[in-house]
Structure 1
Amino acid sequence: MTTAEPGLRADAERNRDRILAAARRLYAREGLGISMASVAREAGVGKATLARRFATREELVTAVFADRMDGYAAAVAEALADADPWHGFTSYIENVCAMQAADRGFADVLTMTFPAARALESRRDEAYHGLVELISRAKAVGRLRDDFTSEDVVILLMANAGVVAATADAAPDAWRRLVGQMLRAYAAPGGELSALADAPAPSALYRAMIRAGRAE
């Protein structure tokens, strides 16, 4: 029995790694709507094995996106370290939206709450408090509109998640146009603005609309 333990532990660790790798692939490609059963099939393990490693969806999501939530919190810290509050604010928005564009699952994570996933929510809270400070600083130097609130960032992330999901195949850079236009809406009058990304080609948007229709 004693000699079998190391082998059992190694098998369990391999299964855990396979599950995480499968979940990352599926979440990045399809978003968080993927079922636990689909993750088990992708990993090549049984549902019982998946349940032993991750009893709930929240546990799996936490394990998959822990590093990305660290990156999310780090983006706020980096923005706060910028000597130019407006540049820090715009860089933060662009970086976080780029993280969404790179991973549809993470795009969903940023627009959902997971009360049972305490580690994930703790990092989100940390990032939120930094964001509030970032907004205050950008307003103090007269570059961000006075009526802008942290809730506007949540709305933007929800909108960006939708754009990423709808255009990922046909117009993968469409989110950049959305973010650029929204930053112009957030800016106080008279400030210098960075160049706006080109609009997607009409044909690319049409393909995205067809794809979205088929998904319904």
Structure 2
Amino acid sequence: MRADAQRNAVKLRTAASELFQEHGLQVSLKEIARRAGVSHGTLYNLFGSREVLIDEVIADLAATRLSAAATRALASADPWQGFAGYLTEVCELQATDPALGDVLTRRYPDASRLMAVCDNSYAATEAIIARAHHDGSLRPDFTASDLLSFLASHAPLARATASTGSEAWRRQITFMLDGLRTAAATHPLPAAPLTPAQINHLLIQES
């Protein structure tokens, strides 16, 4: 790659990282090129697609933050507190980091590195839930699929309330957690949870 192309690539990565974290992964590619001070065509010549750019600048960041949240949850001596802390931390990322909010809803399935991060996060979520099931604190019919469904529906609420300066989204988390304790499971659920494939299909259709 020529020296000028390398400089432009660095500018584009920096601009994309800033704008993705400010506005989410759907931010206009023209706006990224404008902030980087290069043409729209230069962006496409260097990266080819939004998904490639996302993988370049967001995948590692997402992996670091989601892995750290999971590590803290699994290290907790109290499985329920680990689960509750993980759910709260992930929802806080949805409220405060637009890019991470979009990552968690798997809106860009063609960003292969990012999808690998999501798969790893899902596996960690299963382990966190399994600990709370084994402990007897989390209702036994709650699954990682249910958590992913909740996060998908919670993302726009978290972002919208946070944009007003409110933390009202935390109320929804408290309601959710109170309903997930084993003692609250007094009625059988009326349907099976969505499978991961069904959730992925739903999220792609909604994006």
TM-score (norm 1): 0.76
Partner of 2:106: 112
Which residue identity does 1:153 align to in structure 2?
Answer: L
2:51 to 51, 54, 58: 58
Give the conservation status (yes or no) of the 8 Å contact 2:91–2:158. no
* Paired AA for residue 31 in structure 2: S
Closer/same/farther in 2, CA of residues 24 and 111 from structure 1, 3 Å limit: same
Match of 1:72 among 45, 66, 76: 66
CA distance in 1, matches of 2:178, 2:13: 39
How far 1:113 sits from its partner (Å)? 4.5
Name 1:174's counterpart in structure 2: 168
Residue in 1 aligned with 2:41?
Answer: 48
**C-alpha separation in 1, matches of 2:115 and 2:127:** 19
Partner letter of residue 32 of structure 2? V
Contact 1:135 1:150 in 2 (8 A): yes
By how many angstroms is 1:58 displaced?
0.7
Corresponding residue of 1:38:
31
Which region of structure 1 is more displaced relative to structure 2, 166-175 or 46-55?
Answer: 166-175
Structure 2 distance, partners of 1:168, 1:17, is 31
Question: What residue ranges of structure 2 are gaps of 5+ in the alignment?
Answer: 185-207
Deviation at 1:46, TM superposition (A): 0.4
Residue 101 of structure 1 contacts residue 107 of structure 1 at CA under 8 Å; is this kept in 2? Answer: yes
TM superposition shift of 1:82:
1.9
* CA distance in structure 1 between the aligned counterparts of 2:109 and 2:25, rounded to whole angstroms: 16
How far off is 1:16 after superposition? 2.3
Residue 101 (structure 1) aligns with: 95
Percentage of pairs with the same residue? 38
Distance 1:128 1:145 in 2: 19
Residue in 2 aligned with 1:15?
8
Between the two structures, name the one with larger relative contact order (CA 8 Å, sep ≥ 6): 2
Q: Contact 1:104–1:161 (CA<8 Å) still a contact in 2?
A: no
Equivalent residue letter for 1:69: A
Check the 8 A contact 1:70/1:123 in 2, yes or no: no
TM-score (normalised: structure 2): 0.79
Cα distance in 2 between the residues matched to 1:13 and 1:139:
50
- Aligned partners of 1:78, 1:126: CA distance in 2, in Å? 15
Q: Read off the aligned partner of 1:39 and give its amino acid letter.
A: I
* 1:139 and 1:146 in contact (8 A); partners too: yes
CA RMSD of aligned residues (A): 2.0
Unaligned runs of 5+ in 1: 191-216
